[in-house]
Amino acid sequence: MEWLILIILMFALIILRVPIAFALGIISIIGISLNDISLLSNVPRNLFSGVNSFTLVAVPLFILAGEIMARGGISQRLINFSKIIVGPIPGGLALVVIISSVFFAALTGTAIAAAAAIGGMLIPTMLREGYDKGFTTSLIASASTIGPIIPPSIVLILYGVMASVSISDLFIAGILPGVLMALGLMVYSIYIGKKNNYVIKNNKTDIKTFLLSFKDAILALLMPVIIIGGIISGIFTATESGVIAVVYALLIGLFVYREIKIKDIWLILRNSAMTTTGIIFLIGSASVFIWYINFESIPQQLTNLLGFAADNPLLLLLIINIVLLIAGTFIDTISAVTIFTPLFLPMVVSAGVDPVHFGILLSVNLTIGMVTPPLGVCLFVVSSIADQKVPAMFKHLFPQIAILLVVLLVVTYWPALIMMPVEFFSS
C-alpha cells in the first residue's frame, strides 16, 4: 500500500509548510512514476484540463468583486445600516458584526476577506464602546466562517466543479446552514450583551435616521439580492453572476459612492490576480492528484479499510467529520476541499449520501477549522488587526465554536433541512 505512505508524506509536507499545490503535485508525480513513468505525460494534460472550466471563471470574478467592494464603500454602508437595525439591542455592535458578515458573505463568499474587512472597521469601534477585546476578536473571527457557506461561495463553486454537482443547488442548500450559524452566534452575543450591559451609546434609531441609512445602503443591499435571486431563479449562472457582481460593484464604487478612483483599478486588478493565481494553480495540481488517486483506486481502498463503517452513513459521516475537523485546523478551506473531495465523495455517495448534502457538510466543517486553534487562519487575521494574542480569545472562542459544532451536527444528521429548499426551487 505505497499510496498510503504517499498520502502520509503529503500531509507531512503540508505540516512542514510546503505550499499545498506543490505537495499535491509532488506526491502525484512520485506515485505515477512508481507505477509507470510513461504515464507522466498525463500530468500536464490533467493540469490544463483541471482549470479549463467555464464555471471556474466565477472564482476570479468574485475575488475581483470583493476587492472592488472593500475599496468602494459598499462594506462600510452595510455596517452602518446594520448598526441602525440592531443598535438598541443588548450586544448591538456584536450583532452588527454578525449581520455584516452575512451581508459580506452574500457579496464575496470568503471568510478571510470578511474577517479582514469587518475586523478593520469594527474592532476600534467596539473597543471604544467598552466591549471586551477577547470577545470582540473571537466573534469577528467566528462570524467570518459564515462567508464560505452563504452564497455566492468560492468554496462551494470549487466543490461543485470537482464533484460535478449543480452550483445553483449548492448555493440554495447553503442558505439555511449559514443563517443557523448566524442565529446561534447572535443568541450568544445577546447573552453576553445583557450580562455586560453592552449597549451602543448615542445610537439614533428614529424613523428618519433609519430611512436615511437605508437610502445610503440600498444599492449595496440590492447587490446580494440580484446575485442570489438571479442564480436561484435560473436567470443567470454562477459564472454570469460573477460578471454582474464586478460590473455592479465597479459602477457603484466609481460613479455613485465615488470612493474608487481610476488610478485604484490597477491595484485592485493586481491584488485579485495574485489571489486568483494561487487558487487556479492549486486546482490544477488537485486535478493531477484526482487522476492519480482514481488510477490507484484509492477511494475504493479507503472504503475497504473502513469496513462496516462504509455501509453505515451515520457512522461514516461521524468519522469523516472528525477527520475534517482535525485537518481544517492546519489546512485552509480551499486547499482542503481539493484534497478531501476526491478522497471522500465516492465513499459517501456509495453509502447513499447526496453529493449536495455532503458539499455543505464539507464546507461547514472546514470553515470551523478556520477558527479552531492552533492554526485557525481567521484567528491570526483578526489578532493581527487588533494586536491581540490568540490565547486571549479562548474564553469566548470555545463557546462560539461549540455553537458552530451544533450547527454542523444539524447539517450532518438532518439532511432534509439541506435538501428541502433545493427540491422546492427545483420543482
pLDDT tens digits, one per residue of 328-355 = 777 777 778 888 888 888 888 888 889 9
Amino acid at residue number 205: T
Q: Is 424 exposed, middle or buried (0-12, 13-18, 19+ CB in 10 A)?
A: exposed
**362 vs 149, 177, 202, 356, CA distance in Å?**
10, 12, 43, 10
Residue 109: pLDDT above 60?
A: no
Residue 400: pLDDT above 80?
A: yes
pLDDT band at residue 203 under the 50/70/90 scheme: low
Lowest-pLDDT range of 137-146, 302-311, 331-340: 302-311
Contacts of 263 (CB under 8 A, 6+ apart): none
Residue 38: pLDDT above 80?
A: no
- Give the C-alpha separation, 71 to 75, whole Å: 8
pLDDT band at residue 219 under the 50/70/90 scheme: confident
The whole-number pLDDT of residue 53 equals 73
The whole-number pLDDT of residue 259 equals 82
pLDDT > 70: percent of the chain: 90
Place of cell 478531501: 340
Give the mean pLDDT of the chain.
Answer: 80
Which of the pair, 192 or 201, is modelled with greater confidence?
Answer: 192
pLDDT band at residue 119 under the 50/70/90 scheme: confident
Whether the CB-CB separation of 227 and 152 falls below 8 Å is answered with yes
Residue 357: pLDDT above 60?
A: yes
Residue 402: pLDDT above 90?
A: yes
The whole-number pLDDT of residue 187 equals 92
- Give the C-alpha separation, 212 to 87, whole Å: 15
Which of the pair, 84 or 158, is modelled with greater confidence?
Answer: 158
pLDDT > 90: percent of the chain: 9
> What is the C-alpha radius of gyration for the chain, rounded to an integer number of angstroms?
22
Per DSSP, the chain holds a count of helices (H) and strands (E) of 20, 0
pLDDT band at residue 107 under the 50/70/90 scheme: low
The whole-number pLDDT of residue 404 equals 93
Residue 405: pLDDT above 90?
A: yes
54-82 pLDDT, tens digit per residue, is: 777 877 887 787 778 767 777 677 777 77
The whole-number pLDDT of residue 366 equals 86
